[in-house]
Amino acid sequence: MNGTIAKAACIGGGVIGAGWVARLILSGVDVDVYDPSPEAERVVAEVLANARRSMPRLLDISLPLPGRLRFASSVADAVAGAELVQESVPERLDLKRSVLTAIDAAAPADAIIGSSTSGLLPSDLQQGMTHPERLVVAHPYNPVYLLPLVELVGGQVTTPETLTRAQAIYTALGMKPVTIRREIEAFVGDRLLEALWREALWLVHDDIASVTEIDDVIRYSFGLRWAQMGLFQTYRIAGGEAGMRHFLSQFGPALKWPWTKLMDVPEMDEALITRIADQSDEQAAGLSIRELERIRDDNLVAIMRALAAQQGGRGWGAGELLRQQEAALRKESTAEPLQLVSGTVPAEWIDYNGHMTEHRYLEVFGNTTDALLEQIGVDADYIASGRSYYTVETHIMHLGEARQGAHYGTMTQILHADDKRLHVFHQIRNRETGAILASAEQMLLHVDAKAKKASPAAPDLLARVTALAQSHADMPRPSAMGRHVGQRSG
């Protein structure tokens, strides 16, 4: 089922609601927001600015053109025409019931209603709704515009069709929906986080460790492990060659030892609050929330892009999801020439002249060629069969400057393809101004990597690349085609 939607409504535009707005807008969905707070527009604008800065850097392909953002005057005004309504008001059952009832009364009959609740039961939220069958808990993780998980939890009267439709909608937003089999308070993620949080509070309460020391224990060890393998797979490995069964037999008894105070939680009195807050202030070292958010976002993008580069470029974990999202976006891209790679010029690409340095252009063109090869079927399996393409010639022309933060996109035209040669013309353009920043004419040769010599491409691959070349045959030939270095223009 195709879950692409055109319009959504976000009721509540705080930390999480604004994150939903950002993910939806940058996924090309029009969003109406309703939030009575006078601060809502500012908060949404600041979170959206963070998302515009980071979300495009996750992928090597352009995100869809952004949707339209509008602030509505009421719930009814916001939900008109919405296919998805995402509720993100404060975690109070009475307030959520009241808001969900108002949404239910005004939303289109086929709209899905998702609640961002961190732990309230969907069956409790459904009380009082006229159409409770369309309510599903859709619990995200902060920042919503970068972390892909959304826990889907149905209530007693949520229909299977609602869950299926919700899966498709959130998947189309580039997310990883995980449907929890039975409702339980705090679902899965927050129950696990709550266990860790309670223990951490005791450690601070009993002055065993400070907030910084606890955070360092997490981020220099299992925090890194959990970013790519979770808990069980990590412990399977920890069991050595005998695997999980050995791990359980060896470490199972520890579960009976008094290692934990989990069944208890320290009194959150003023003394403990002050101690935690003071230590947290010291840990923040003067950085504002927005500065910490940008550091967090840069780190998350780097981790997820690193995961996307694993397994021969097929990706692992959250990185594999990024590759799947890129493939889905490429299928939607009917534009000619091919738009294969996009991104935002990061600070580390800027040289002493204050603009994007030259080798980064070759990096972008190289990524573009890789994306083209992936699209025509030169994937890990094809390469494992001992065949590939080598780039044998590149002529790059620098036509404009790219400054830090510039949003760029590539365009690729196939100039010629035969059984051994693939002649392409890439361009990098500024996606906001349309200015062409650079071009690269490349000749690729299909090779038998074992014999180290040119060889004919596999018939099905040749058919695909020939068809692509034919679809580009009517495009105007680039004026720079065939130029040599130093040739006068005109």
Ligand X SMILES: C[N+](C)(C)CC(=O)CC(=O)[O-]
Residue nearer to ligand X on the CB measure, 46 or 401: 46
Please list every residue from 104 through 123 that binds ligand X, using CB under 6 A. 118
d(CA 161, CA 173): 19
Other CB atoms closer than 10 Å to residue 144's CB: what's the count? 27
Is-contact 175 19, C-beta < 8 A?
no
Both tokens of 28, joined, read 């090309």
- 11 part of the interface to ligand NAI, by CB under 6 A: yes
DSSP lists the bridge partners of residue 70 as 32
Site for ligand X in 161-200 (CB under 6 A): 190, 193
- Of residues 105 through 134, those in contact with ligand NAI by CB under 6 A are 116-118
226 lies in the site for ligand X, by CB under 6 A = no
Closest Cα to residue 314, out of 243, 268, 383, 249? 383
The residue among 271 and 277 lying less far from ligand NAI, judged by its C-beta, is: 277
Residue nearest to ligand NAI (CB): 14
Q: Tell whether residue 15 is a contact of ligand NAI (CB under 6 A).
A: yes
37: partner contacted, choices ligand X, ligand NAI, none (Cβ within 5-8 A by kind) = ligand NAI
Asked if residue 142 binds ligand NAI (CB under 6 A), the reply is yes
Q: Residue written as tokens 């090597």?
A: 60
Q: Is 343 in the site for ligand NAI (CB under 6 A)?
A: no
When binding is defined by CB under 6 A, the residue of 142, 249, 260, 433 that contacts ligand X is 142
Q: Is 215 in the site for ligand X (CB under 6 A)?
A: no
40 makes contact, choosing from ligand X, ligand NAI, none, with CB < 5 to 8 Å by partner type, with ligand NAI
Contact pick of 48, 61, 89, 340 for ligand NAI (by CB under 6 A): 89
Minimum distance of ligand NAI from residue 120's CB (angstroms):
7
- Which residue is nearest to ligand X, using beta carbons? 118
* Residue 249 neighbours by CB under 8 Å, 6+ apart: none
The answer to the question of residue 50 lying near ligand NAI (CB under 6 A) is no
For residue 202, the minimal CB distance to ligand NAI (Å) is 22
Q: Shortest gap between Cβ of 19 and ligand NAI (angstroms)?
A: 8
Local structure of residue 349 (DSSP, 8 states):
G
Q: Which parts are annotated binding residues?
A: 12-17
Candidates 46, 97, 141, 483; binder of ligand X (CB under 6 A) is: 141
Separation of alpha carbons 420 and 445, rounded Å: 6
d(CA 22, CA 55): 9
Least distance in Å: CB of 142 to ligand X? 4
Q: How far is the CB of 98 from ligand NAI (least distance, A)?
A: 7
Beta carbon nearer to ligand NAI, 88 or 344: 88
Q: Return phi, psi of residue 236, to 5°.
A: -60, -45
Among 40, 59, 136, 447, binds ligand NAI (CB under 6 A): 40
With contact defined as beta carbons under 8 Å apart, do 415 and 423 qualify?
yes
**Which lies closer to ligand NAI via its Cβ, residue 15 or residue 350?**
15
| 337 prior amide bond cis, ω within 30 | yes
Please select the residue that binds ligand NAI; options are 17, 28, 315, 317, rule is CB under 6 A. Answer: 17
Cis status, amide bond into 143, omega within 30 of 0:
yes
Give how far Cα 453 sits from Cα of 163, 256, 302, Å. Answer: 53, 64, 37
Rounded Cα–Cα distance for residues 276 and 173 (Å):
36
- The CA-atom distances, in angstroms, between 412 and each of 340, 373, 433, 483 are 8, 12, 18, 17
Closer Cβ to ligand X, 101 or 115, answer by number:
115
Binding residues for NAD(+): 12-17
In this structure, are strands 453-454 and 436-448 parallel, antiparallel, or unpaired? antiparallel
Q: How far is the CB of 461 from ligand X (least distance, A)?
A: 44
3-state secondary structure of 26: coil
Query: What one-character-per-residue DSSP string does 159-204 give?
Result: -HHHHHHHHHHHHHTT-EEEE-SS--TTTTHHHHHHHHHHHHHHHH
Binding residues for ligand X (CB under 6 A): 118, 141-142, 190, 193
Binding interface with ligand NAI (CB under 6 A): 11-17, 34-37, 40, 88-91, 99, 116-118, 139-140, 142
